[in-house]
Structure 1
Amino acid sequence: MTAGAPFPEDPTFLGRLDQLHADLTRHSAYDLGFPGATDLPDMTAVSRFERLLLNNVGHPYAAGGSYRLHTKIVEHEVVQFVADLVDAPLDNRHGYVTTGSTESTLWALWQARRHLPGAAVFASTAAHYSVAKNAELLGLPLHLIPADTRGEIRYDALRAAVTEHRRRRRGAGAVVIATIGTTMTEAVDDAALIDKTLALAGVDPGQRWIHADAALAGIPLALCDPLSRPGFTFADGVHSFAVSGHKFLATPFPCGIVVALADRHTGRGSITYTAAPDSTITGSRSGHAPLWLWYLLRYWGLPGLRRRAIAARDLAAYTERQLHDIGWPAWRAQEHAFTVVFPRPPQHLLDRWPLATDEHGNAHVVCMPGKTRDLIDRFVADLAHAITGAVSLPKTVAC
């Protein structure tokens, strides 16, 4: 068989790929319910690397090692770019490119457990579902704290829970997951208020760990005026920070970036096989993800990233107005949110437009970069048609 020829035992396999591509393209025309930017630029400059096995095995800052086909030099620059955005101290920062925010949170909790033995984890009921899974994997006790009607953690309940935990385990530390953009409403837990809450609960600074899970909102918020946004950076008291690459930054595959204080990082020493220190969750890591992230960050630069964020917020405000115009309640958890929340539409509309929903009867659209007014107009028109003849309109859940 000649190289590149179809497998004779399955002459239809190229046709199956054609059909899969057609199906996915059709679904993309109704993609509004989950966060993923779609304004991917021309990636020809990095596509030439696709036939190379790029494996960033070992410590991300260790350029040496036995395996030389890696992109750690650009991975380091990606981490530094994000670290600069979120005020990580220049002489005290560490991080790497992960498979996504779930791995980033797992890594942060792993580091917190090594730094604060006996500590418990506290997160809001609106935190990402992976927080509970990661705590279970690491054997860490998890306390879920009520969120308010818009999805932000209740600081009074957090203080009470931490105080009670420390009453039972005198001197125990506290690890708090601050969700910077909840999955359903894009509400933000203010890390500065969390830090103050921990102080009021009697937790010494050395016994605190605040992890900012900023998968969607981290970079867009970092581009805002600091006086107009909630606290979520290292200057606000966080010890680790995570953002997704496949959401705002538009990589066509899941990935993430985690940044942490270097003096709170504990590795596992050098591995003879790889001739590099082991400090990440996975041994082998994609070298392609850092390359794509590096290219996209430099392609847009800070001005381009800021323009994309502003356009997304403008589209969210437009969506909110359009829904109000047809009499359908809609709201945003905070002024910078890309996410517009509204009562769950009729099921036959959800069959066409697959939207995320919650147990409170809400649904949402996420106005990511690349989404257009035409797409919003199609959705609103379909919703208006679906609710024609309704006896009464639903009430919004939020205050």
Structure 2
Amino acid sequence: MAQLPLDDSVDIPDDPAGSSSGSDRDVALLKELAAHMLGERDHMLGFPVNLDFDYRPLADFLQVHGNNVGSPAKNSEYGLHSRVFEQAVVSFFGRLAGLEDAFGYVTSGGTESNLYGCYLGRERFPEAVLYASQATHYSLRKIARLLRMDFVAVQVGDDGSMDLAGLRRHHSAHRGRPAVVVATIGTTTGGAEDDLVGIREALADEGTDEVHIHSDAAFGGLIAALSPEPRPWAFESGADTVALSGHKMLGAPLPCGVALARPEHVTAIHRPDVAVGSDDDTITGSRDAFTPLLLWYELRRLGRTGLARRVTHCLETAAYAEQRLREEGHHPERAPGSNTVLFDAPAPELCTRWNLLTVGDRAHLIAMPHVTGEHIDRLCADLRT
């Protein structure tokens, strides 16, 4: 990605400029950065982020401090909040995940959502070992350190998903201890999906029934739920907690997510009347009241039907990218039902131009809602030249 040339014009002085000309220059600088970022949208092919949205009708909320402090299910003494909209967002995603009465809240992103799921698991089973595949999100190792949990990275199979025989072998070395297992639904390295049902069966084979399964569905949850051939991914397949992303398939101008849980598991962390007249059952204290409005607005605009159309578009674009990259001789591969296409990495300058993530000699193209066949054709034209 080309960087906007900036110098010490962004330094913050001890004393304000004190003139309208100084303020005008600052506004012009911000407008220049905004124009640069908007221009880069047309070359964003390698990151799991959706840029197809427009939240300008919500600009009035930037003039007030909204705060959903405390529990999403109970009002607080702070009156400027958006809880009813947050509850609607949680209800929508809970139903999509197969649990009508799911507890949940809007988070700062996938890492907080994953932390919440593992935190509930650790509180349920304080002596548990935390398992995740070697292809899990990088946040899981950090979460294990934060929660002071023993962490085991389980090898993956040929399809990139957690190897269940490997899980059994690792857990046999910790026989007698409970297990918190993170099942990744859509790995960042290829879109692979772990087998929730198989994970629980594998641990049962080792004589363990104290199991908390967290579904990290931040990337692939909506794809698994709404693709033409839906796949197991959430509560209906045995998950205890679920993480979803708000800025990926849905789209938002800032990182955000949703954490969902079975209500009975939240009682382990619930603390009544400790947060400004509200209960405490989330990770954070003060919570952003603006993001729930963004997600609610887009969900009302799209609905489940619109989201399903969006998923279909992504899968069709990924299939087209796979075809075109094969024609160009770049050896593409794509996991079944995934919108991620791996292919031979082009020259570094092209990876930079098209914002392509690379691992070794392979590049990642991720067909998000803003990506079209025209983008793929222009990329392939650049690959030829």
TM-superposed deviation, 1:370: 1.6
Once the two structures are superposed, what CA deviation does each residue of 1:268-314 show, in whole Å capped at 9, x if it has no partner? Answer: 41345601111111101111111111111111011111111111110
Q: Give the SS at the match of 2:62.
A: coil
Is 1:259 the counterpart of 2:257 in the alignment?
Answer: no
Deviates more, 1:261-270 or 1:111-120: 261-270
Is 1:215 the counterpart of 2:226 in the alignment?
Answer: no
Match for residue 27 of structure 2 among 11, 14, 35: 14
Alignment of 1:190-229 (within 5 A): 190-204=195-209, 207-224=210-227, 228-229=229-230
What is the rounded CA distance, in whole Å, between the counterparts of 1:68 and 1:7 in structure 2? 35
Q: CA, structure 1 residues 237+273, in 2 after alignment: closer, same or farther (shift >3 Å)?
A: closer
| Residue equivalent to 1:82 | 93
What is the rounded CA distance, in whole Å, between the counterparts of 1:181 and 1:150 in structure 2? 12
What is the rounded CA distance, in whole Å, between the counterparts of 2:322 and 2:348 in structure 1? 21
CA contact (8 A) 1:188 1:230 kept: no
Deviates more, 1:9-18 or 1:305-314: 9-18
What is the rounded CA distance, in whole Å, between the counterparts of 1:202 and 1:156 in structure 2? 14
CA contact (8 A) 2:274 2:280 kept: no
Alignment of 1:149-160 (within 5 A): 149-160=158-169
Is 1:25 the counterpart of 2:38 in the alignment?
Answer: yes
| Residue equivalent to 2:184 | 179
Is 1:139 the counterpart of 2:148 in the alignment?
Answer: yes
What is the rounded CA distance, in whole Å, between the counterparts of 1:305 and 1:372 in structure 2? 16
Q: CA, structure 1 residues 11+180, in 2 after alignment: closer, same or farther (shift >3 Å)?
A: same
Code of the residue aligned with 1:23 in structure 2: it is H
Is 1:100 the counterpart of 2:105 in the alignment?
Answer: no
What is the rounded CA distance, in whole Å, between the counterparts of 1:325 and 1:304 in structure 2? 32
Deviates more, 1:260-269 or 1:125-134: 260-269
Match for residue 304 of structure 1 among 306, 330, 347: 306
TM-superposed deviation, 1:325: 0.9
Match for residue 81 of structure 2 among 58, 70, 74: 70
Is 1:364 the counterpart of 2:367 in the alignment?
Answer: no
| Residue equivalent to 1:314 | 316
TM-superposed deviation, 1:102: 0.2
Aligned length: 367
Once the two structures are superposed, what CA deviation does each residue of 1:153-176 show, in whole Å capped at 9, x if it has no partner? Answer: 11110111112211xxx2x11011
What is the rounded CA distance, in whole Å, between the counterparts of 1:151 and 1:344 in structure 2? 19
Once the two structures are superposed, what CA deviation does each residue of 1:315-369 show, in whole Å capped at 9, x if it has no partner? Answer: 00000000011111001112x211111122222322322211124x221111111
- TM-score, normalization by structure 2: 0.91
| Residue equivalent to 1:39 | 52
TM-superposed deviation, 1:190: 1.6
TM-superposed deviation, 1:15: 2.0
What is the rounded CA distance, in whole Å, between the counterparts of 2:322 and 2:271 in structure 1? 52
Alignment of 1:102-121 (within 5 A): 102-121=111-130
What is the rounded CA distance, in whole Å, between the counterparts of 2:166 and 2:223 in structure 1? 28
Code of the residue aligned with 1:178 in structure 2: it is A
What is the rounded CA distance, in whole Å, between the counterparts of 1:203 and 1:272 in structure 2? 36
| Residue equivalent to 2:12 | none
Alignment of 1:38-57 (within 5 A): 38-41=51-54, 43-44=56-57, 46-57=58-69
Q: CA, structure 1 residues 143+330, in 2 after alignment: closer, same or farther (shift >3 Å)?
A: same
TM-superposed deviation, 1:177: 0.5
Once the two structures are superposed, what CA deviation does each residue of 1:69-114 show, in whole Å capped at 9, x if it has no partner? Answer: 11111111111101101112x34x2111000010001111111111
| Residue equivalent to 2:10 | none
| Residue equivalent to 2:373 | 373
- TM-score, normalization by structure 1: 0.88
Match for residue 277 of structure 1 among 276, 279, 283: 279
Q: CA, structure 1 residues 327+47, in 2 after alignment: closer, same or farther (shift >3 Å)?
A: same
TM-superposed deviation, 1:220: 2.2
Q: CA, structure 1 residues 318+240, in 2 after alignment: closer, same or farther (shift >3 Å)?
A: same
Q: Give the SS at the match of 1:111.
A: helix
What is the rounded CA distance, in whole Å, between the counterparts of 2:159 and 2:19 in structure 1? 54
Q: Give the SS at the match of 2:47.
A: coil
Code of the residue aligned with 2:125 in structure 1: it is L
Q: Give the SS at the match of 1:209.
A: strand
Q: Give the SS at the match of 1:188.
A: coil
Q: Give the SS at the match of 2:305.
A: helix
The percent of aligned pairs where both chains have the same amino acid is 37
Q: CA, structure 1 residues 277+6, in 2 after alignment: closer, same or farther (shift >3 Å)?
A: farther
Code of the residue aligned with 1:259 in structure 2: it is L
TM-superposed deviation, 1:7: 5.2
- Gapped regions of structure 1 (runs ≥ 5): 386-399
CA contact (8 A) 1:192 1:232 kept: no
- Gapped regions of structure 2 (runs ≥ 5): 1-17
Code of the residue aligned with 2:71 in structure 1: it is H
What is the rounded CA distance, in whole Å, between the counterparts of 1:198 and 1:72 in structure 2? 38
Code of the residue aligned with 1:36 in structure 2: it is V
TM-superposed deviation, 1:193: 1.4
Q: CA, structure 1 residues 102+42, in 2 after alignment: closer, same or farther (shift >3 Å)?
A: closer
Alignment of 1:320-359 (within 5 A): 320-334=322-336, 336-359=337-360
Q: CA, structure 1 residues 129+42, in 2 after alignment: closer, same or farther (shift >3 Å)?
A: closer
CA contact (8 A) 2:154 2:163 kept: yes
